[in-house]
Structure 1
Amino acid sequence: MRKILVLGGTQYFGKKLVEKLIANGDDVTIATRGTKTDPFGEKVKRLVIDREQKETLAKAFDGKEWDLVYDQSCFSPIEAKDTSEVLNERVGRYIFTSTQAVYEFGTLHKEENFNAFTFPIEYKGRREYPGYEGYKEAKRASEAVFHQLGKFEVVSSRFPIVVSEDDYTGRLKFHVDKIISGQTIGIPAPDMRYSFIDAEEAADFLLKIGQTDYSGPINPGSSGDISLRELIEKIELLAGKTAIIEETGHSDNMSPYALPGSWSIDTSLAVGLGYKFVDLHKLLDALINHYITAHGKITE
């Protein structure tokens, strides 16, 4: 039985990962701030930590060791450094949930397009990284710390936009609801392109790569990408409604996918290693139809 530590694991696909680890028969410990309830009951052990307070990590992890760590909650290089130092010689393998945002804006990025092994590290806390640009820099620097310190074997899983029926962000649902309701959506740059992954497949990927000896960065997700224009056209077709789009928008109608540039990844490395992901259009069609049905039930 493997002993596994999950930093986070009480929200979205992190929660799905913990459920899969339990089903796999692993001995699972989750470490969180302890402010959220979870559905795991007595199936997991629990530790209370604050990623911004190194001493809480040292206290919680004292005298303990694990075969594998999944990090779902690191958002700064200081947190990465503190965790690496505290867990040094307590774990041999570390899987960091990163993001396609480590790449510059652009399309179909391959893993070598961002080199975490040479990226210059400036140590700052999570509160010093505001907005999308801050998020990008925080994840870049965190990856760099994990790979450059070399405390353990590291996988950086660079996820694209995660979607599912139970997506707590409601970002895809936002577009479906606006179009069905005849409300305006602000999309300044409709030709920006993005990649996606199903939340269940994201959790399954983390489970399976944790059963291998792979190390380094990797891009999981459905192959290819789609523009906002194509996504809107897809919703229009499936909903039988015409979208109202304006190039400028306000906070209440701006598309949550209206980012400053394209962000998409090339997933050929993961696919070549045998990982399987649903076709991008099948994924989006199924979710759009689910949200259309859900919208109809709410308005009945």
Structure 2
Amino acid sequence: MRKVLVLGGTQYFGKKLVEKLIENGDEVTIATRVTKSDPFGEKVKRLVIDREKKETLAAAVEDKEWDLVYDQSCFSPMEARDAAEVLKGKVGRYIFTSTQAVYEFGTLHAEGNFDPLTYEITYKSRKEYPGYEGYKEAKRASEAVFHQLGYFNVVSVRFPIVVSEDDYTERLKFHVDKILAGQPIGIPNPEMRYSFIHADEAASFLLEIGNSAFEGPINPGSAGDISVRELVDKIALLANKEAVVENSTISGTVSPYALPGSWSIDTSLAEGLGFTFTDLNQLLDQLIKFNIQQNALN
């Protein structure tokens, strides 16, 4: 039985990951601030930590060791350095949940388009990384810390936009509801393109990459990308409604996918290693239909 530590693990696909680890027969410990309840009962062990206070993590992991760590809650290089220093010698393999946002705006980025081994690290706290640009810098620097320190066998998983029927962000649902209601959607740059992955497949990928010997950055997700315009047109077609798109940034109408540029990834490395993901159009079609049905029930 493997001993697995999950930093975070009580939200969204992190919760799904913990469920899969339990089903896999692993001994699972989750480390959180305990601000949210979890459904795992006596199936997991628990540690109380604050990622912004190194001493809480050090105290929680004292005299403990794990075979594998999943880091779902690191949002600054200071937190990455603290975790690496505290867990050095206590774990051999470290899976860091990163993001496609480490790349510059653009489409179908391969892993080599951002090298964490050469990125210059500036140590700042999570509060010093506002907005999308801050998020990008924070995740870049965090990756760089783990890979440059070299304390563990590290995997940086660069997820695209995560979607599912139980997506708490409701970003896809926003578009469906607006189109069904005949309300305008503000999309200043409708040709911006993005990649996606289903939350269940994100959790499965984390489980499987943890079971592998792979090291380094990797892009998981449905192959290809789609523009916001194509996504809106797809919703309109499936809903049999006309989409009203405006060049607007008015609060309440602007698309949550109206980012300053495209962000999409090349998933061929993951596919070449034998990982499989739902076809992008099939994924979006099933979620759009689900949200249309849910809208009709409300």
Which residue in the other structure is 2:104 paired with?
104
Q: Aligned residue for 1:236? A: 236
How many residues are paired up? 298
Structure 1: 5+ residue stretches without partners: none
Cα distance in 1 between the residues matched to 2:232 and 2:57: 45
1:47-101 deviation line (CA, Å, top 9, x unaligned)? 0000000000110000000000000000000000000000000000000000000
In structure 2, how many angstroms separate the alpha carbons of the residues matched to 1:96 and 1:122? 19
Cα distance in 2, alignment partners of residues 221 and 279 from structure 1: 9
User: In the alignment, is residue 289 of structure 1 matched against residue 251 of structure 2?
Assistant: no
Runs of 5+ unmatched residues, structure 2: none
Displacement of 1:35 in angstroms is 1.0
Q: TM-score, structure 1 length as denominator?
A: 0.99
Are 2:184 and 1:184 aligned?
yes
CA displacement at 1:248 relative to structure 2: 1.5
Partners of 1:34 and 1:172 lie apart in 2 by: 29
Matching of residue 126 in structure 1 with residue 126 in structure 2: yes
Is this contact kept in 2: 1:185–1:249, CA < 8 A? no
Task: Return the alpha-carbon distance in structure 2 between the equivalents of residues 21 and 154 of structure 1.
Answer: 19
Partner of residue 149, structure 2: 149
Shift, 1:249, TM fit = 2.4
Which residue is 1:17 aligned to? 17
- 1:275 paired to 2:293: no
| 1:70 counterpart = 2:91 | no
Alpha-carbon distance between aligned partners in 1 of 2:153 and 2:208, rounded to the nearest angstrom? 16
| Separation of aligned partners in 2, 1:148 and 1:183 | 49
Distance 2:121 2:144 in 1: 7
Q: Which runs of 4+ in 1 moved over 3 A?
A: none
Offset, 1:147: 0.2
1:91 is aligned to 91
Q: Deviations over 1:97-141 (max 9, x none)?
A: 000000000000000000000100000000000000000000000
Q: CA deviation at 1:250?
A: 0.8
Query: TM-score when scaled to structure 2?
Result: 1.00
Partners of 1:248 and 1:231 in 2: how far apart? Answer: 18
Q: Corresponding residue for 2:61?
A: 61
3-state SS in 1 of match to 2:74: coil
Structure 2 distance, partners of 1:156, 1:257, is 24
| SS, match of residue 210 in structure 1 | helix
* Offset, 1:5: 0.0
CA distance in 2, matches of 1:86, 1:67: 15
247-256 or 120-129, which deviates more: 247-256
Residue 67 of structure 2 aligns to a residue in which SS? strand
Q: CA deviation at 1:278?
A: 0.2
SS, match of residue 151 in structure 2 = coil
**Distance in 2 separating the partners of 1:102 and 1:230:** 24
- Judge conservation of contact 1:175–1:185 (CA < 8 Å) in 2: yes
Q: Residue in 2 aligned with 1:113?
A: 113
Are positions 1:164 and 2:164 aligned together?
A: yes
Opposite residue 252 of structure 2, the aligned amino acid is: D
Q: Which AA in structure 2 matches 1:234?
A: K
Partner SS for 1:91: coil
Structure-2 residue corresponding to 1:44: 44
Note the alpha carbon deviations across 1:254-291, whole angstroms, 9 max, x for none: 10000000000000000000000000000000000000
Q: Distance in 2 between matches of 1:226 and 1:266?
A: 13
- CA deviations 1:23-53 (Å, max 9, x no partner) are 0000000000011100000000000000000
Match of residue 263 from structure 2: 263
Q: Is the 8 A contact 1:185 1:253 kept in 2?
A: yes
**How far 1:10 moved relative to its partner?**
0.2
Partner of 2:4: 4
2:128 counterpart of 1:140 = no
